[in-house]
Amino acid sequence: MLGTQDSSATLYDRIGGKAAVKAAVDLFYDKIMKDSLLRPFFASVDLKRQRGKQAAFLTAAFGGPTKYTGKDLRHGHAHLVARGMSDAHFNAVAAHLQSTLRDLAVPTPLIAEVMGLVGSTRDDVLGR
């Protein structure tokens, strides 16, 4: 899955670029849909479209070539917060992302970097 170890390269490049993001998003949503805590939040979601939006978001967040044009995290998740999304749900999503990256053999330092980025979004995602 890895691209380059060059620390001056973007996180997007260091994890392996477009193919790596796609592989991660696909495996990540497979895990989400098997999780009884999270699956209800995706019951009426077009998962193909969601995967595309997530890939675009991660590409932009990781410094890749895509400019994300979707809603900001607070507005994009407000309807989920209204449905009861909480820290427990955020933690479950983060755990699935972390295990996805491990499954795809991403080195621990890059996983830590991704998880730091994810953690920094908690308050926005949960509308705080």
Nearest CA to 30 among 44, 42, 18? Answer: 42
pLDDT confidence bin for 92, thresholds 50/70/90? very high
1 occurs within a structural domain: no
Under 8 Å between Cβ of 10 and 18:
no
Number of H helices and E strands in the chain, helices first, is: 7, 0
Residue 70's CATH number: 1.10.490.10
First vs last Cα of the chain: how many Å apart? 34
38 occurs within a structural domain: yes
- pLDDT, tens digit, 9 for 90 and up, residues 104-124: 999 999 999 999 999 998 999
DSSP at 65 = S
52 occurs within a structural domain: yes
Domain extent, residue 28, equals: 11-125
Count CB atoms within 10 A of the CB of residue 111.
18
- pLDDT, tens digit, 9 for 90 and up, residues 19-37: 999 999 999 999 999 999 9
Specify the number of domains making up the chain.
1
